[in-house]
Amino acid sequence: MIFSASAHPENTSVEQIESLRDWWSLAGVDLHYNDEPASLLVDTAPAHKPPAPQPVRIAAPTESKPDFVNEAPSPHNISEDFPAKHNDYIAWLSNSENLIEAQWSQNHVLPSGVIKPEIMIIVGMPEQGGLAEDSLFSSKSQALLANMLKAIGCDSERTYLASISLGRSFDGRLASEHHDIFKKRIIHHIGLVQPKKIIIFGDTPSNLFFNQNLLTARKNKQFVNHKSSKTDAIATFHPRILLERPEFKAEAWKDLQLLTRIESI
């Protein structure tokens, strides 16, 4: 692609060149930094002295803010008095004033699925490719997830999908300073959903639940404690990673088999 056009001969006349030189001179482009440039709006005749500089007036800050600024809550103002019923809790999540992630994202994906599912799937945050479709997963990841569940005898009608953060951060990570409030929220959420088992995808949820990175957490069966109960869980690779690195699929299959050995589905 050509970004500049060739000059026509008629555009290089002596008069136009001289005019450009005069303009540059008036603009002060050819002056040394110690010279005093002339203003295009001031009479530059030698008989007149240049106008005295006017003092700079700094306007006082106003309370008005741009329309696109999201009024996000401060972490200290986030309520931990979570609703005790699932439907009320989902309604609570749909209000951005209750969400710490509203500080960095205006696109939120609410959890979905059946209550008391065979498997509750938890990810750190929505995939970038799924946000436009109001989904935690891109279409390719969703298809792979369906195959993974089918391989262990489960289908989407018996699952529940949730994320720790309803919105996606700029770098795809959750700052450790927010882990505590996110953990309290997701633990409460698990207690309301009451799943039989949990699959945790990715490094962030592994650190949040087990204080271990994914590669360490996936070596053993895990437990997620909520209220007075605990639920069997495994940690494994996110479908997006399996699409990018197919060689990890065999390892993910081992993780899923660990889940089926916990209790036959």
What's the CA gap between 161 and 134, in Å, rounded? 12
**pLDDT at 37 > cutoff 60:** no
Q: How far is CA 95 from the centre of its chain?
A: 18
Angle between helices 249-262 and 139-151 (to 10 degrees): 50
HSE value, Cβ hemisphere, 13 Å, CA-based, for 262 = 21
Angle value at C-alpha 195, between 91 and 84, nearest 5 degrees: 35
| pTM metric for this prediction | 0.70
What's the CA gap between 44 and 54, in Å, rounded? 18
Q: pLDDT tens digit string along 195-220?
A: 999 999 999 999 999 999 999 999 98
- Residue 226: the pLDDT is 80
